[in-house]
Structure 1
Amino acid sequence: MRPLRYSINVTLDGCCHHQAGLPPDEESMTYWTGEMERAGALLYGRVTYEMMESAWRRPVTGPWPDWMDEWEIPFAEAIDRTKKYVVSSTLGTVDWNAELVRGDLGQAVRQLKEEPGEVISVGGVALPLALADLGLIDEYVFLVQPVLAGHGPTLLAGLRERIKLELVDRRDFRSGVTALRYRPQTTA
């Protein structure tokens, strides 16, 4: 069974808005590129899919935009080629190597997890909350930013039940960011 991994940048006060933390640097982009390259598929809600597509989809003209630094291109290439599943009741179609996921969320994600392949990486805010409530997330990866945002959406706000986690890996970056990887603790 393919594991489902939730990965996101988060500030010390729990804000997970993509502009609240530190701007990406070469070290963090190398980390995210590695995570992307290990993902067999991405699972996004509509908002995250559209945001990631607008930033990271290869332009029709071919070359990457001038604003992109050389060290961002490997991430852009990795996300551009990775299979994507989009949970949406409002989109009629998707492209960018993507397909829509409709119907019962729990059943659809369980089916994706049963398919052969590597880890499924989920991002965003609302969709991971629903998946956590359903007990479907097998791993949580938080890049904790040394910033207090004081506003914005917070990580897993509204979670119905507490999920006890076990730390399985930690990596400190020169910028002060700490990558924390957790798995839900199993009750024996």
Structure 2
Amino acid sequence: MRPLRYSINVTLDGCCHHEAGLPPDEESMRYWSDEMERADALLFGRVTYGMMESAWRKPATGTWPDWVTEWQMPFAEAIDQAKKYVVSSTLGEVDWNAELLRGDVGHAVQRLKQEPGEGLWVGGVTLPLALADLGLIDEYEFLVQPVIAGRGPTLLAGLRERIQLELVDRREFRSGAVAMRYRPVRRTS
């Protein structure tokens, strides 16, 4: 069974809006590119899919825009080429190497987890909350930015039950950001 990893940038006060943290730097982009190598496919909700597609889909010309720097290229190429699943009840279709998932999200994600492979990677806010409530997330990965946003959507706001986590990896960046990876502590009967 392949694990489902929730990975996201977050500020010290828990804000996970993509504009609340620091602009990506070479070290963090390299980190995210390496993490993408651990994923067979990406899982997005409608909003995150749209945001990522508008930023990271290679233009039809086949040439990346000037704002994509050389050190962003590995991430841009990895996300552009990755297999994607999009959970949405309102989108009629998706492309960008994506497949639309409809119906019972828990059942659909459980089916994806049963397939062989390295793992699935989920990002965003709303979909990960639903998946956490269903107990489907096997690993939580937070790149904590040294910023206090003071406003914006916060990480897993509205979670129905507390999830006890154990730290399995920690990495500090020159920028002051810290990547932390946790796994849920599974209760034994």
- Per the normalisation by structure 1, the TM-score is 0.99
Offset at residue 126 of structure 1 (A): 0.2
Give the equivalent residue in structure 1 for 2:87. 87
Alpha-carbon distance in 1 for matches of 2:135, 2:71: 36
Give the equivalent residue in structure 2 for 1:139. 139
Alpha-carbon distance in 2 for matches of 1:142, 1:99: 26
| Alignment check: 8 A CA contact 1:43 1:122 kept | yes
2:77 match: secondary structure: helix
1:128 match: secondary structure: helix
Offset at residue 139 of structure 1 (A): 0.1
Alpha-carbon distance in 1 for matches of 2:180, 2:56: 24
**Can you list the C-alpha shifts for 1:7-41, whole angstroms capped at 9, x where unaligned?**
00000000000010010000000000001121100
Give the equivalent residue in structure 2 for 1:6. 6
Give the equivalent residue in structure 1 for 2:168. 168
Give the equivalent residue in structure 1 for 2:62. 62
Give the equivalent residue in structure 1 for 2:39. 39
Question: Where does the alignment leave 5 or more consecutive residues of structure 1 unmatched?
Answer: none
Give the equivalent residue in structure 2 for 1:77. 77
How high is the sequence identity, in percent, across the aligned residues?
A: 79
Offset at residue 68 of structure 1 (A): 1.0
Offset at residue 84 of structure 1 (A): 0.2
**Can you list the C-alpha shifts for 1:63-107, whole angstroms capped at 9, x where unaligned?**
110011100010000001110000001111100000000111111
Q: Does 1:108 align with 2:105?
A: no
Q: Does 1:128 align with 2:153?
A: no
Give the equivalent residue in structure 2 for 1:155. 155
1:149 match: secondary structure: coil
CA RMSD of aligned residues (A): 0.5
| Alignment check: 8 A CA contact 1:9 1:143 kept | yes
| Alignment check: 8 A CA contact 1:41 1:118 kept | no
Q: Does 1:29 align with 2:37?
A: no
Q: For residue 111 of structure 1, what is the amino acid of its counterpart?
A: R
Q: For residue 71 of structure 1, what is the amino acid of its counterpart?
A: W
Alpha-carbon distance in 1 for matches of 2:17, 2:69: 22
Alpha-carbon distance in 2 for matches of 1:102, 1:89: 6
Give the equivalent residue in structure 2 for 1:180. 180
| Alignment check: 8 A CA contact 1:2 1:114 kept | yes
Give the equivalent residue in structure 1 for 2:118. 118
Size of the alignment, in residue pairs? 188
| Alignment check: 8 A CA contact 1:13 1:149 kept | yes
Offset at residue 147 of structure 1 (A): 0.3
